[in-house]
């Protein structure tokens, strides 16, 4: 099985919707909006909003408090399976 995991940072879907209304062809974004696939959440503390903290949350489904990754490079010590490991071998 092949997995394509496209990560997009700081997409403003209100602006995407404006482009769609103007007729710009953005079929992938149109499907995301039409299928109601936009669900985001983030940490409440400003110092926990760094990408190297937020991406591990997206990859593991866990909050900072749960995964504990605070600095760039800390993820090598992460014991939690990331989406890549979960779906790379569905029988593991």
Asked if residue 67 belongs to a domain, the reply is: yes
Q: Is the same domain home to 50 and 31?
A: no
Q: Is the same domain home to 53 and 76?
A: yes
Structurally, the chain folds into a number of domains equal to 2
| Domain extent for 67 | 42-92
Do 81 and 62 meet the contact criterion of CB atoms below 8 Å apart? no
Gap between the Cα atoms of 59 and 85, Å rounded: 10
Q: Is the same domain home to 53 and 73?
A: yes
Query: pTM above the 0.75 mark?
Result: no
Query: Helix, strand, or coil here: 82?
Result: coil
Asked if residue 32 belongs to a domain, the reply is: yes
Q: What is the separation of C-alpha 74 from the centre of its chain, rounded to a whole number of angstroms?
A: 18
pLDDT tens track for 21-76 = 999 998 888 988 888 776 767 888 999 988 889 889 888 889 999 999 999 888 88
Residue 90 in this model has a pLDDT that exceeds 70: no
Q: Is the same domain home to 88 and 51?
A: yes
Asked if residue 1 belongs to a domain, the reply is: no
Q: How much is the pLDDT for 64?
A: 92
Consecutive H or E run containing 87: helix 83-88
Gap between the Cα atoms of 53 and 70, Å rounded: 6
């Amino acid at each position: 099985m092949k997995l394509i995991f496209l990560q997009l940072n700081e997409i403003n879907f209100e602006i995407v919707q404006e482009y769609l209304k103007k007729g710009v062809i953005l079929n992938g974004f149109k499907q995301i909006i039409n299928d109601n696939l936009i669900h985001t959440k983030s940490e409440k503390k400003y110092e926990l909003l760094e990408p190297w903290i937020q991406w591990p949350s997206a990859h593991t489904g866990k909050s900072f408090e749960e995964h504990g990754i605070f600095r760039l490079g800390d993820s090598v010590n992460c014991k939690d399976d990331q989406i890549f490991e979960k779906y790379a071998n569905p029988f593991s």
